[in-house]
A and B are shown apart, each in its own frame.
Chain A
Amino acid sequence: MDTSSVTADGSACISERQNSILTTGKSKSSIHCADDSLAGSVSQRACVFCGARVVLNPVTDAAHLVHGPIGCATYTWDIRGSLSSGSEMYRNSFSTDMKERDVVFGGEKKLATCIDEIVSKYHPPAIFVYSTCVSGMIGDDIIAVCKAASERHATDVIPVESSGFLSGNKVVGYRAAAIALMQLIKPREGETVEKTRKLNFLGEYNLGGEKWVVERYLREIGIEINVAFTGDSTVAALKQAPGACLNLVQCTGSMHWVAMSLEQEYGTPYQDVNFFGSANTAESLRKIAQFYGEPEIIRRTEALIDREQARIQPVLQKYRKKLAGKRAAIYVGGAFKAVAIIRQLKELGMEIVLTGTQTGKKEEYDNLSTLLDPGTIIIDDANPAELEKFLLEKNVDVMAGGVKERVLAYKLGIGFVDHNHDRKDGLAGFDGAVRFAREVYVTTCSPVWGQLKAAGRRA
């Protein structure tokens, strides 16, 4: 944005936003976050529905039915990039396509008919029914409709209370999804799920096959994944979730509450893991091995780590040579992702000058600050004007973020790496660390930036 269109004092931010931005080492106060966005702001945030959709959509053999006007279904149709080893049912988009008459007279009947038709066509093992702004506002009782349909068809029809207006914070939608998942996996009256020595992998969405990478490591050290929440999961596998002896939690924003609930209801302990970056991967594998505590598992884990590190470190060093000293910015959905990226960029010798999230919590920001050098800008719920201001001020070479930040970064002549739903290459594990380094290198050191400089010379 040109400077004439910012406020008179030259700052791109309105005064109410000042507490949402701080500089490490300078500001004493803690960051203002998890607030609602200002009315009239150009926020990069989304809504409750969005949060619920991204968490549940990777359940591969379920039908996902959006109860609302068409847009909510269209915008969330197969955008997550979660891969499936079996059913592709989740990649279809089902909508009740509410019309004016449904808004006036209620959409419950139409919803029931849609459920009936989905069952008759596909017999899915479960149907998730998502409420949206309108169905929530007019008071459609999706819980009752789902309950009746469940009984009628003897299948799981699970309501997800995800009306967009409930909050502009995706985290609230994660909770709605979590409640739906807990409902799905609850064993029937009188039934129990046998405990096994397998583990669940929470907050893993199998983007670019990332779950499969971790699954191969665990298999090698002698541990099986029971089910992932929710990458490449099936309804039947999710129902076995209470049988795990351990829950790994990766994306803490979406799954911490599920982990706590699983511990409460089924007595399963949990631990946080992070498979982004070689150091994180090694650390996470060791933690898991320690939990099992068996010498053979520990031995295999060390062997795996040694072998993989020996294989990838020379490659990473090559990228490090190209990237050391370059300046990076991060703006992502949640704090988990931010932490993961900070570590990896540091491993590549890069300097992080700006970090922000859409939905971080206070304690997460406190944790972020400890990882960053003094002088780093930390920002909550940034608007594009703020991002632009700091990207230019801090002379950033590469940015990690999501869809909307990509084009902004490019326009400013800054490289971009997608660490969001759009990424197509798995970035987890040791090979993922190499792929990440390669992506950062490709975009930071693209020869195309030379054309920009050439244009400058010509002018």
Chain B
Amino acid sequence: MLECIPEGSVVHTTGKINPAKTCQPLGAMYAALGIHGCLPHSHGSQGCCAYHRMHLTRHFRDPVLASSSSFTEGASVFGGAANLKTSIKNVFAIYNPEIMAVHTTCLSETIGDDLPNIIKTAEIPEGKTVIHVNTPSYQGSHITGFSGMCKAMVSYLAQSDGTTKKSQMNVLPGFVNPGDMREIRRIVDLLGVKMIMFPDTSNVLDTPLTSKYQMYPEGGATVTEIRDAGNSEVTLALGSFASHDAANVLQDKCGVTGIPLKLPIGIKATDDFIMAIKDWFGVEIPASLTLERGQVVDTLIDTHFHYQGKRVAIFGDPDHMIALTEFLLAMGMVPVYVLTGTPGKAFETEIKKMLEDAGITGSRVKAEGDLFELQQWIKEAPVDLLIGTSYGKYIARAEDVPFVRFGFPILDRAVHPLMPVVGYRGCLRLIEQISNALLERRDRDCLDEDFELVL
């Protein structure tokens, strides 16, 4: 990696070097794990399924189960219908989930398997459900696949019973950690509003160690709950890339008002999330949440001189980057490079607007970029801090930049899936990590005479 950026002029017009995204099926699999009693199913070669499970397992450090259609050459020639039908039969016979969530792969997409028809003619036991989403790996990214599976939950399951809506809301949390989903639930509970959150991987991928392994842990939104989402008054869709589509489908299908929001990362986005609930349901904001917010502002002032004016490069999933950019600007930092691997011009437009409003010029913002480009930018004009997934560690080492791990995947550190970055508590965690990374660098690099106990 240290030789990733060659000397002299560089041509990089096509393909990816050191990608900042992965493929759709992984996102679909992750979303499916947020349904209670669900076995995700990968309709393609075995390798895909193994890779997605491995990647998710490495990030969450919890077992990830999913079945595969186990394509071989025959299936690839004659189509995968028989494989999928056999799979559906075997999955319910052997693993007995409540629901099987099928996603395609680039192989079955290229073959052109007609999933709705295959599923319609498959033997599905009474009371069991099969849903599907098309996730061609040659479009979008894992975020697209996550969004697609959320949409499939709505279009297959959500139903409106009639015209009167229940006083409850749906939350589409986006591709965040179980710890984040748990925190969202804590905040909503404090506000006293009934919520259906889907997908919800808390109590699925952050389960306690008890010596008993549950193939289908307690967590996850139940099929009944997702069905009932059609009766809610409102849906808060967190993150435009991962959640807005599903909210739109739900609005069209069941007349549930969709409110598009950012991921509640940072003080303003958290405010917006809480205010949206307050405004819709007319609830009081409890003193405990006001206190939490006050603590964030207090901590920001206690630490602002550690990071204000520092140049920072960030990369990761688009919804995370949009919310993080907003928070970094609120902290007085200067996001000079903002990159996501997921395609989408809207990403660039939104980030550029935020930078412009903050009076910051000359930053580079890119959707569908890769880490080769990011490292090239950093080499040309260095930064004080890098924030991103574990893959940033190569750049951090090569360019000697302090590094904060954030987003998905994090493969070289533990505990993070349990610690929220959303909400006011998430703000504190981010402030602590950013502040500490910069201070540790200072302690490492300063001369003995400048080495201070109190900082």
A residues contacting B by CB (< 8 A) are 1-2, 4-7, 12-14, 36-50, 65, 68-78, 87-89, 91-100, 102-103, 110, 113-114, 117, 120-122, 132-134, 137-138, 164-168, 383-385, 388, 403-404, 406-408, 410-413, 452, 455-456
Contacts and interface: CB of A to CB of B under 8 A. Distances in A.
Given A92-B17, A97-B19, A7 B70 contact: no
A40 B94 contact: yes
Nearest to B24: A71
B216 A69 contact: no
Given A74-B23, A93-B18, A40 B69 contact: yes
Nearest to B60: A407
9 contacts: A12-B94, A40-B90, A71-B48, A75-B54, A89-B3, A100-B136, A100-B138, A113-B15, A412-B213
Nearest to B82: A39
Given A14-B90, A42-B65, 19 more contacts: A2-B214, A6-B94, A40-B41, A40-B91, A45-B50, A46-B46, A46-B50, A50-B50, A71-B25, A77-B18, A77-B19, A87-B3, A91-B394, A165-B76, A167-B72, A385-B215, A411-B62, A411-B207, A452-B209
A93 B1 CA distance: 9
A164 B16 contact: no
Contacts of A384: 63, 65, 215
Contacts of A452: 209-211
A71 B50 CA distance: 12
Given A41-B68, A110-B15, A404-B57, A410 B209 contact: yes
B45 A5 contact: no
Given A98-B138, A103-B138, A411-B213, A93 B19 contact: yes
A387 to B, nearest CB: 10
B16 A70 contact: yes
Contacts of A43: 46, 49-50, 68, 70
A165 B107 contact: yes
Contacts of B2: 88
Contact of B69 (A1, A39, A44): A39
Contact of B15 (A103, A117, A137): A117
Contact of B75 (A68, A134, A165, A411): A165
B286 interface: no
Listed from nearest, the 8 A-B pairs whose CB atoms lie closest are: A47-B47, A71-B23, A40-B87, A40-B90, A1-B215, A413-B211, A69-B137, A168-B46
Residue picked from B44, B84, B209, most chain A C-beta under 10 Å: B209
B67 interface: yes
B17 A93 contact: yes
Contact of A137 (B65, B94, B111): B111
Contacts of A96: 14-15
Given A40-B67, A89-B3, A165-B75, A73 B47 contact: no
Given A41-B94, A87-B3, A89-B3, A133 B19 contact: no
A197 to B, nearest CB: 34
Contacts of B247: none
A40 B54 contact: no
Nearest to B65: A42
A40 B136 contact: no
B50 A5 contact: no
A226 B386 CA distance: 42
A407 B94 contact: no
Nearest to B215: A1
B11 A121 contact: yes
Interface residues of B, number: 87
Contacts of B75: 165
Given A47-B45, A69-B138, A88-B2, A408 B209 contact: no
A78 B209 CA distance: 30
Contact of A117 (B11, B22, B67, B76): B11
A41 B1 contact: no
A87 B22 CA distance: 26
B22 A71 contact: yes
A406 B94 CA distance: 23
Nearest to B213: A411
Nearest to A38: B90
B11 A404 contact: no
A117 B14 contact: yes
B58 interface: yes
Contact of A114 (B15, B39, B89): B15
A93 B21 CA distance: 12
A95 B210 CA distance: 42
Given A87-B3, A117-B13, A134-B110, A70 B22 contact: yes
B137 A70 contact: yes
Interface string B68-89: 1111110110000011101111
B55 interface: yes
Nearest to A71: B23
Nearest to A110: B14
Contacts of B23: 69-72, 74
A388 B65 CA distance: 13
A42 B67 contact: yes
Contact of A164 (B48, B66, B82, B84): B48
B3 A46 contact: no
B51 interface: yes
Contact of A70 (B21, B57, B88, B94): B21
B362 interface: no
Contact of B19 (A65, A74, A134): A74
Nearest to A13: B94
A388 to B, nearest CB: 6
A455 B210 contact: yes
A142 B210 CA distance: 51
B213 to A, nearest CB: 5
A98 B16 CA distance: 10
Nearest to A69: B137
